[in-house]
Structure 1
């Protein structure tokens, strides 16, 4: 199978997937290395596919056209992370990513794609099990999230809830 055919089949797999697909799983499906998967993902993004690399695997964001986005600036402790993320998803939003503005490296972004409490819990457990530091430790808790929702009004509600909880910076 040539590379173009493989990438078409990869998109089909991601469209049909009900959960994120790891690079290893995609590589095994096509008999290629994870490095080739990463290259294929980069080529597919260049073709205009909205592919996200999350901590749980690759996702084809098929809902992006139906959502509105807003970047919000927040600040909280590591212990408050789950509550902050749950506040977004409980109000109909999706946390697309986390962004920190680093003085040396510029903007550092981590794709999250959290849309349910189950997603938030799985992310928090992964952080705990890996003893991973949150990106926000680089900026004393200050960071940004791109949040998505079906309407601007829902984004306003999410932002107000975050404000009331003291999470907006």
Structure 2
């Protein structure tokens, strides 16, 4: 932890620069330690930066600055899945092994309506980290609020990768499709 506490606007600018320089998500606790403030102060700073229009997102891995991407075309598809929590690893592994990444998970909650959580999982290592973090924190998956029914936005550079993921999810009894 730094001996010097960064205050207000200088702290927010430092956070913004650290996030811009990072290619991976940065945990709020790491930002808090670097600036010598509480995690709650970081949450407030991120909210203030987002309110200014900074392209920041919160993921399960921490905060990301959405860099301007070069004009690369990728295909996205929303898929409907149904399984229990213990099959989460299997589902995510099928998707990333097919050459896709899982952008988010969405559930339709009876009280709150649509709930979307960004995942940004693209590798087996990220699948492993996500599942381990859930177990370590004893955190429930969103699908547990809907009896296993949920949606994912998956993306790839190639439609064939999305098609392959869908075939394998169907074979695993995870993909829900219109009849």
Change (3 A) 1:6 1:70: farther
SS of alignment partner, residue 42 of structure 2 = helix
Whether 1:163 and 2:170 are equivalent positions in the alignment is yes
Moved more, 109-118 or 52-61: 52-61
Quick one: which of 138, 141, 146 aligns to 1:134?
Answer: 141
Q: TM-score, normalised by structure 2?
A: 0.79
Structure 2 equivalent of residue 59 of structure 1: 64
Task: Look up the SS of the partner of 1:27 in the other structure.
Answer: helix
Deviations 1:11-46 (A, max 9, x none): 321232243211121123233332232223223334
After TM superposition, where is structure 1 displaced by more than 6 Å over at least 4 residues in a row? Answer: none
Residue equivalent to 1:111? 118
2:96 counterpart of 1:96: no
* Aligned mate of 2:29, from 10, 18, 24: 24
Unaligned ranges ≥5, structure 2? 1-5
Q: TM-score, normalised by structure 1?
A: 0.83
Closer, same or farther in 2 for the Cα pair 1:5/1:149, shift >3 Å? farther
Tell me the C-alpha RMSD between the 2 structures: 2.5
> Highest CA radius of gyration, 1 or 2?
2
Moved more, 90-99 or 23-32: 23-32
The structural deviation recorded for 1:142 is: 0.3
1:150 is matched with which residue? Answer: 157
Extract unaligned runs of 5+ from structure 1: none
Q: How many residues align?
A: 169
Superposed CA offset, 1:57-104 (max 9, x none): 212243767443322110012221111001111122211222111111
Question: Counterparts of 1:90 and 1:45 in 2: how far apart (Å)?
Answer: 33
Instruction: Sort the Cα spacing of 1:54 and 1:143 in 2 relative to 1 into closer, same or farther, 3 A.
Output: same
Secondary structure, in 3 states, of the residue corresponding to 1:95? strand
Looking at structure 2, the residues matched to 17 and 24 of structure 1 have their Cα atoms a distance apart, in angstroms, of 15
